[in-house]
Structure formats: structure tokens, C-alpha cells
């Protein structure tokens, strides 16, 4: 994947596929410790320990449309390439938390990329789920919660295309501000 935000999209799609009703995303950029951590926690059906242990294996998948499942395998490879690791914690019936960590300054680390596009895609395509997004950069942070947006919107659903467009620009502006830049550069 060319951007970490594409891995993030893939992780959130996994959570939705697992029947999650709420998904909590956190991205922690720590320039002082030179770490980047991306975590996705869901309340989906979870995995038995045997499946969780094999989840990052490219020949493990729950799909019946194909016999390979590359999402977590690609992410694990990206983590290992950048002096990081992939951790999967799962409890059947309770949910799964996937945490990917990287050395932030590593030359092979892909950019975070279009996070705003990832969030607009997920929220626009799945207006029923509750998503929180928490992005820390050093001392500053940017937060988003679909629950809060829904309160403001009342009976208007989040998947109205004009609302998705607003959401994408709102996140891009918020993240640029977080980094202290005029425009989000990933």
C-alpha cells in the first residue's frame, strides 16, 4: 500500500466486516520518541486465539471469494520494514484491537497520506457505525466522533454526499492545523 491511510482503511473495513458497531481509531505521532502508532479497536465478533495467531498470514482469510487475505500480512511487512511491529489482541464476542507501530523517521515508512479520504469513505459508506478518530501529534491533538456529528445533524444522515464532502475537508483542515501547516501533506 502506498499510504498508511490505505492500511487504516483496510483495518476499518475488517472491523466492519467483523460486525463492529463502534470503531475507535487512534494515531499517535511522537516526534520526541521517533514513533508512530496506529490502532484500530472494534467491538465486532472477535477471533479465537488460533485464528488471531494466524491472522497476519497471507493464506489466512475468512472470505470464500478467494483463498488469500493480504491486508494484515501487508501491514505486518510494512511494520517490520520500519523497525516496528504489528500486534493483534482479540477476544471472541468482545472485539479486536490491531496496533501497528513504526519508527517514524524510517526511510521506508510510507506517508500517512489521505486520512480525510479514508474517513469520508468509511463514514459515507457505513453511516450506521459509530467511529471515533483521535490523532495526537506531539502535544496537540485532533478528534472526531460520528456520535457528535450525528447530534449536530439531527435527522440528516451522515451519508449525504455533501456532508461527506464537508467531512473530508474538515478532517484535512484539522490535520493540517495539527501539524502547524497550511495544507495537509500526509
Partner 1 sequence: MKSLEDLERLRERAKEATRIRENAAATRIVVGMGTCGIAAGAREVMTTILAEVAKRGLTDVIVTQTGCVGLCDQEPLVDVQLPGQPRVTYGRVDAARARDIVARHVVNGQVIGEWVIATK
Kindly list the residues in this chain that would bind partner 1 in the complex (CB under 8 A).
1, 6, 9-10, 13, 17, 63, 65-66, 69-71, 74, 114, 117-118, 120-121, 124-126, 149, 152-157, 159-166, 168-170, 173
- Nearest to partner 1 of 49, 125 (CB atom): 125
Location of C-alpha cell 499517535: 28
Query: H helices within 28-114, ranges in order?
Result: 49-54, 71-81
CB 59 to partner 1: min, Å: 14
Sheet holding 130-137, edge to edge: 85-91, 95-103, 35-42, 22-30, 130-137, 140-145
CB 148 to partner 1: min, Å: 8
Question: β-strand 22-30 against 130-137: which pairing, if any?
Answer: parallel
CB 120 to partner 1: min, Å: 6
- Nearest to partner 1 of 154, 180 (CB atom): 154
CB 15 to partner 1: min, Å: 12
Q: Please state, in angstroms and rounded to a whole number, the distance separating the CA atoms of residues 181 and 186.
A: 11
Amino acid at each position: 500500500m502506498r499510504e498508511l491511510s490505505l492500511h487504516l482503511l483496510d483495518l476499518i473495513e475488517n472491523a466492519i466486516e467483523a460486525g463492529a458497531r463502534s470503531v475507535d481509531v487512534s494515531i499517535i505521532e511522537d516526534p520526541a520518541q521517533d514513533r508512530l502508532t496506529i490502532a484500530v479497536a472494534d467491538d465486532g465478533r472477535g477471533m479465537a486465539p488460533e485464528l488471531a495467531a494466524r491472522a497476519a498470514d497471507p493464506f489466512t482469510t475468512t472470505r470464500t471469494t478467494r483463498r488469500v487475505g493480504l491486508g494484515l500480512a501487508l501491514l505486518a511487512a510494512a511494520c517490520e520494514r520500519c523497525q516496528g511491529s504489528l500486534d493483534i489482541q482479540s477476544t471472541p464476542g468482545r472485539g479486536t484491537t490491531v496496533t501497528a507501530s513504526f519508527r517514524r523517521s524510517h526511510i521506508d515508512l510510507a506517508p500517512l497520506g489521505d486520512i480525510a479520504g479514508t474517513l469520508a469513505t468509511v463514514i459515507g459508506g457505513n453511516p450506521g457505525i459509530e467511529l471515533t478518530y483521535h490523532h495526537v501529534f506531539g502535544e496537540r491533538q485532533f478528534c472526531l466522533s460520528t456520535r457528535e456529528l450525528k447530534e449536530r445533524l439531527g435527522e440528516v444522515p451522515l451519508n449525504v454526499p455533501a456532508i461527506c464532502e464537508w467531512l473530508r475537508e474538515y478532517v484535512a483542515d484539522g490535520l493540517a492545523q495539527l501539524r502547524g501547516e497550511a495544507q495537509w501533506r500526509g
